[in-house]
Chains A and B, each alone.
Chain A
Amino acid sequence: MSLRVMLASLRRHSLMPALVLLQIAFACAILCNVFFLAWQRLEPMLAPSGVDADNLIVVDNLAAMGRSFTAAETDAGERALRAVPGVRAASAGFALPMVNNASILLNLRGSTQVTVGVSAFFGRGLVQSLGLKMLGGRDFVASEYRPWGIGASNGDDAWNTGAAQPIIITQALADKLFGRANPMGQMLVDPEDKEGHGYQVIGVVKHMLRNQLGLAIDGRADYTVLLARSIGNTAMLNYAVRVDPSMRAAAMQGVKKAIDRQFAALMSGGVQPRVEFYADKRDEALKSSRATLWLLLGLVLAIATVTLVGIMGLTGFWVQRRTRQIGIRRALGARRMDILRYFLLENVLIVGAGIVLGMLLAYAGNIMLMHYYELPHLPLAYLPMGAAVMLAMGQLGVWGPARRAAAVPPVVATRSV
Chain B
Amino acid sequence: MVGYGFELALQGLRRFPRTSALAVLTVAIGLAASMTTLALLHALSADPLPGLSQHLYLAWIDTVRAKPITYTTLDGTGVVDYKRLRMADAEALLAARRAFRQTAVADMFARVEGGDAGHGNDETILAATSDFIPMFGVALRDGRSWTAAEDTARAPVAVIDSELARSLFGADRAVGKVLRIKGHAVRVIGVSAPYAPQPHFFALDQWSFSGSERERVFMPYSAALDVGAEARRSDGCDADTAKDKTLFSVDVTRCSWLGYWVELDTPQAVADYRTYLNNYLQQQKDLASFGRSQQAQLLDVPQWLTLQNVIPDNVRLNVWLAGSFLLLCMVNVTGLLAAKFMRRSAEVGIRRALGAPRRAVMLQHMLEAGAVCVLGGVLAWPLTLLGLALLRMQDQGFTDLARLDVNMFGALFVLATLVGVLVGFLPAWRVSMVQPGLQVKSA
Q: Give the B-binding residues of A (Cβ under 8 A).
A: 15-16, 19-20, 22-23, 26-27, 29-30, 33-34, 37, 63-68, 105-107, 117, 150-153, 192, 215, 233, 235-236, 269-270, 288, 291-292, 295, 299, 302-303, 306-307, 309-310, 313-314, 316-318, 320-321, 365, 369, 372-374, 416
Cross-chain contact of B72 among A20, A117, A302, A313 (Cβ < 8 A)? A117
Asked whether B74 lies within 8 Å of A117 as measured between CB atoms, the reply is yes
B111 → chain A closest CB, angstroms:
7
Complex Cα–Cα for A106 and B313 (A)? 25
Chain A residues whose CB sits within 8 angstroms of the CB of B30 once the complex forms? 306
Known: A310-B335, A313-B19. 8 other contacts (CB 8 A): A23-B335, A37-B321, A65-B249, A68-B244, A269-B122, A270-B109, A317-B343, A372-B316
- A-B pairs, top 4 by smallest CB distance, nearest first, are A270-B122, A151-B247, A317-B339, A117-B74
Asked whether B248 lies within 8 Å of A236 as measured between CB atoms, the reply is yes
Taking CB as reference atom, which chain A residue is nearest B342?
A317
Asked whether A67 lies within 8 Å of B73 as measured between CB atoms, the reply is no
Given A269-B122, A270-B111, A372-B316; A306-B328 close (CB under 8 Å): yes
Chain A residues whose CB sits within 8 angstroms of the CB of B313 once the complex forms? 372-374
A307 → chain B closest CB, angstroms:
7
**Interface centre among B22, B313, B324, by most A CB within 10 Å?**
B324
Chain A residues whose CB sits within 8 angstroms of the CB of B335 once the complex forms? 16, 19-20, 23, 310, 313-314
Chain A residues whose CB sits within 8 angstroms of the CB of B316 once the complex forms? 372-373
Q: Is the interface of A mostly helix, strand, loop or mixed?
A: helix
Chain B residues whose CB sits within 8 angstroms of the CB of A320 once the complex forms? 343
Taking CB as reference atom, which chain B residue is nearest A310?
B332
Chain A residues whose CB sits within 8 angstroms of the CB of B247 once the complex forms? 68, 150-151, 235-236
Chain A residues whose CB sits within 8 angstroms of the CB of B22 once the complex forms? 309, 313
Complex Cα–Cα for A316 and B19 (A)? 11
**Interface centre among B30, B328, B394, by most A CB within 10 Å?**
B328
Whether a CB of chain A sits under 8 angstroms from the CB of B336 is yes
Cross-chain contact of A65 among B73, B230, B394 (Cβ < 8 A)? B230
Complex Cα–Cα for A292 and B390 (A)? 11
Given A105-B74, A153-B244, A270-B111; A16-B339 close (CB under 8 Å): yes
Complex Cα–Cα for A215 and B72 (A)? 14
B250 → chain A closest CB, angstroms:
9
Whether a CB of chain A sits under 8 angstroms from the CB of B158 is no
Complex Cα–Cα for A63 and B110 (A)? 15
A366 → chain B closest CB, angstroms:
11
Complex Cα–Cα for A313 and B16 (A)? 12
Chain A residues whose CB sits within 8 angstroms of the CB of B332 once the complex forms? 23, 306-307, 309-310
Complex Cα–Cα for A372 and B318 (A)? 13
Q: Mark B328-348, 1 if CB is under 8 A from A, else 0.
A: 110110111011101100000
For this complex, 13 residue pairs linking A to B, each with C-beta atoms less than 8 Å apart, are: A16-B339, A27-B328, A106-B72, A117-B74, A152-B243, A215-B74, A233-B244, A269-B109, A291-B394, A303-B325, A306-B329, A318-B339, A373-B317
Whether a CB of chain A sits under 8 angstroms from the CB of B396 is yes
Taking CB as reference atom, which chain A residue is nearest B72?
A105
Complex Cα–Cα for A206 and B335 (A)? 54
| Count, chain B residues at interface, CB 8 A | 51
Taking CB as reference atom, which chain A residue is nearest B111?
A270
Chain A residues whose CB sits within 8 angstroms of the CB of B248 once the complex forms? 63-66, 151, 235-236
Chain A residues whose CB sits within 8 angstroms of the CB of B110 once the complex forms? 269
Whether a CB of chain A sits under 8 angstroms from the CB of B246 is yes
Whether a CB of chain A sits under 8 angstroms from the CB of B415 is no
Asked whether A26 lies within 8 Å of B246 as measured between CB atoms, the reply is no
A42 → chain B closest CB, angstroms:
15
Taking CB as reference atom, which chain A residue is nearest B329?
A306
Complex Cα–Cα for A295 and B230 (A)? 41
Chain A residues whose CB sits within 8 angstroms of the CB of B321 once the complex forms? 30, 33-34, 37, 299
A217 → chain B closest CB, angstroms:
10
Chain A residues whose CB sits within 8 angstroms of the CB of B331 once the complex forms? 19, 22-23, 26, 310
**Interface centre among B232, B314, B335, by most A CB within 10 Å?**
B335
Chain A residues whose CB sits within 8 angstroms of the CB of B33 once the complex forms? 299, 302
Chain B residues whose CB sits within 8 angstroms of the CB of A26 once the complex forms? 324, 327-328, 331
Chain B residues whose CB sits within 8 angstroms of the CB of A321 once the complex forms? 342
B438 → chain A closest CB, angstroms:
14
Whether a CB of chain A sits under 8 angstroms from the CB of B29 is yes
Complex Cα–Cα for A67 and B331 (A)? 64
Taking CB as reference atom, which chain B residue is nearest A313?
B336
Complex Cα–Cα for A3 and B247 (A)? 74
Chain B residues whose CB sits within 8 angstroms of the CB of A316 once the complex forms? 339
Asked whether A66 lies within 8 Å of B249 as measured between CB atoms, the reply is yes
Complex Cα–Cα for A33 and B331 (A)? 19
Complex Cα–Cα for A334 and B328 (A)? 37
Chain B residues whose CB sits within 8 angstroms of the CB of A288 once the complex forms? 394, 396
Complex Cα–Cα for A65 and B230 (A)? 8
Chain A residues whose CB sits within 8 angstroms of the CB of B109 once the complex forms? 269-270
Cross-chain contact of A269 among B230, B243, B314 (Cβ < 8 A)? B230
Whether a CB of chain A sits under 8 angstroms from the CB of B430 is yes
Asked whether B249 lies within 8 Å of A302 as measured between CB atoms, the reply is no
Complex Cα–Cα for A236 and B74 (A)? 23
B206 → chain A closest CB, angstroms:
13
Chain B residues whose CB sits within 8 angstroms of the CB of A15 once the complex forms? 338, 430
Complex Cα–Cα for A309 and B396 (A)? 34
Contact residues of B between 1 and 44, Cβ < 8 Å to A: 19, 22, 26, 29-30, 33
